[in-house]
Chain A
């Protein structure tokens, strides 16, 4: 069943579009990797999906509704982990979790149980009453991740998740992602770490200059580039060289 559906989405910050006629979908229980060069339109695509940018043309449906049709259903269907952590300087770690739980209508017992698990998984139990100014970049990222997983939505949107995380943090994140996937949630993840994407993603969307260059499983991609046995790195480089030669 389709959870997220983008149809011919065109949009950007100004009238000059960054993404053009973008169409793809994400099914329930699927982990999809969004891959592309710097400036290919990954973050812009994500901003359109989370609704901070509105498409100039086309339509985005999440759980069957657009943002305008049912804003509450749309927004409670996903959680978002931005590339650079966005925290409230004035809230402690504990309060970040509490605020998120409150906003998504999670009851206090569930909050307690879920946050205990997450704090343990990401080794942040001892920092509950700290303010973000005392956190390293990786810890800030962990706060964002914990808030996102606390919500337990149907779709996780994760922008460049591995930057700044230590190896244990990366493993914890991947474990969490796998677990949620088993429970039926979907994940859209943009990244530059191609080996990890190749290993964990069910499907890959290759974005180039604001358009979908190719999408599908690794096998599909190999076929479309006519490169059997190629790794994602090889395909990625082939894609960029192809356009360079054009």
Chain B
């Protein structure tokens, strides 16, 4: 028992550290800023809409549907790893301790979202229904109970079906969860209780099947790997996640760009860097994303100074991040051995960035065409990019 306790707490600490490490970058990144604006705008729209919404609006059904859907997505966070299939095998009979801790964490890490969404729905419920506040808060308690049951059931179902046909179980739980919340919001307490009891029975029947089966390591490990991979991919938008190989796409429609590089010895690094930039999703989509944001701001914001500042900031971010991405690498590559001046790689990176920043400037120019002084943001993009490239340090020389 001692053993597994240690395994779990080590895993858990490592996991939390990993999440914290990368979330720091996410919340200091440019996307966080955009999110703040979006949340603010949506919140404002919501409060304005509440002033005019008609009493016939099916508020309780909408809240029940959204909350019910969130409740049913209760993927277990087991923190299992591939070697566990071998090393934890002798502890099979004691694994319930490990899974209890895992499901506890799953519950606490996921219940927040459902609660927050329910609370956001409360002003709507107050406007369109005549629910007493007791029932509204009782409803919140039911949401928490439902989350607990959903977590348990999803885990037990995956366990005894070895991860197959999970959608059947999920549909059942989506429907029951929605109906339960809806029953509460229609002041039908008895009906809600019946649904909850139904779920409890469902869970205990699954539990009986779990008891006689070995741990489906393969399924849980794969589930866990997918989950972490998703997280790392997300974090990789904001910072460089080591060992995460960006996926590669040919993007044949951009092949014409390579014609800019004639066949000669001095162009070997250009040949390589142009292809690396265009074909690596991480690099290319970074440019696409930041260019897109810059363009959208240029279209929809009517204050020139804001457009200029945003265009400059995004030009700085694009240039700096791509310079780092293309120049820093600790892995051995064959071009380290080429009989050509290693400074040429930096020049190649400068060239590809210059071309794509001019394209960014052009797109911003088109987007800002309705504005007075429409040409200023484009000039800002090019100037800031050039200055950023020259002034920032060279990561390959660290």
B337 touches A102 (CB 8 A): no
Say whether A172 faces chain B, with CB atoms less than 8 Å apart.
no
Residue A14 interfacial (CB < 8 Å): no
Distance A102 CA – B339 CA, assembled complex (angstroms): 10
Interface residue A75 (Cβ < 8 Å from any Cβ of B): yes
Known: A51-B337, A80-B337, A88-B333. A103 touches B279 (CB 8 A): no
Closest to A111 in B: B263
Partner of B265, one of A82, A105, A131, A147: A105
The 8 Å CB contact of B335, one of A73, A103, A133, is A103
Q: Mark B271-305, 1 if CB is under 8 A from A, else 0.
A: 11001100110000000000000000000000000
Whether a CB of chain A sits under 8 angstroms from the CB of B334 is yes
Per-residue CB contact flags for chain A residues 153-173 toward chain B (1 = under 8 Å, else 0) read: 000000000000000000000
Query: In the complex, A88 Cα to B277 Cα: how many Å?
Result: 12
Number of A-B contacts (CB under 8 A): 66
Main secondary structure of the interface of A (DSSP, over half): helix
The interface residues of chain B lying within 8 Å CB-to-CB of A103 are 265, 268, 335, 338-340
User: Which one, A51, A80, A99, A147, contacts B272 given CB within 8 A?
Assistant: A99
Q: Which of A27-35, A89-97, A217-225 contacts B (4 or more CB under 8 A)?
A: A89-97
Interface string of B242-272 (1 = CB under 8 A from A): 0001001010000000000001110110011
Instruction: Find A86's partner among B279, B280, B333 (CB 8 Å cutoff).
Output: B333
Q: Give chain A nearest CB distance to B341 CB in angstroms.
A: 8
Residues of A within 8 A of B51 (CB): none
Q: How many of chain A's residues touch chain B, expressed as a range?
A: 20 to 34
> Nearest residue in B to A131 (C-beta to C-beta)?
B248
**How far apart are the CA atoms of A104 and B267 in the complex, in Å?**
11
Quick check: B272 and A88 within 8 Å, CB to CB? yes
CA distance A169 to B62 in the complex (A): 65
List, in ascending order, chain A residues with CB within 8 A of B250's CB: 131
**By CB atoms of chain B within 10 A, which of A51, A71, A76, A102 has the most?**
A102
B332–A71 contact, CB under 8 A?
no
Bound CA span A103–B272, Å: 10
Q: A51: which B residues are within 8 A, CB to CB?
A: 337
Report Cα–Cα, A137/B314, bound state, in Å. 41
Which chain A residues lie closer than 8 Å to B245 at the CB level?
A: 89
Q: How far is the CB of B322 from chain A (nearest CB, A)?
A: 15
Contact in complex: A102, B271 (CB < 8 Å): yes
The answer for the CA separation of A161 and B156 in the assembled complex, in Å, is: 50
Chain B: residues with CB nearer than 8 A to chain A? Answer: 245, 248, 250, 263-265, 267-268, 271-272, 275-276, 279-280, 332-340
Complex A-B: 15 CB contacts under 8 Å: A50-B337, A52-B332, A71-B339, A88-B272, A88-B275, A88-B276, A88-B333, A90-B275, A99-B272, A100-B334, A102-B263, A103-B265, A103-B339, A104-B339, A131-B250
User: Nearest 10 CB-CB pairs, A to B?
Assistant: A75-B339, A76-B339, A103-B338, A103-B268, A90-B279, A105-B265, A102-B268, A72-B339, A89-B248, A90-B248
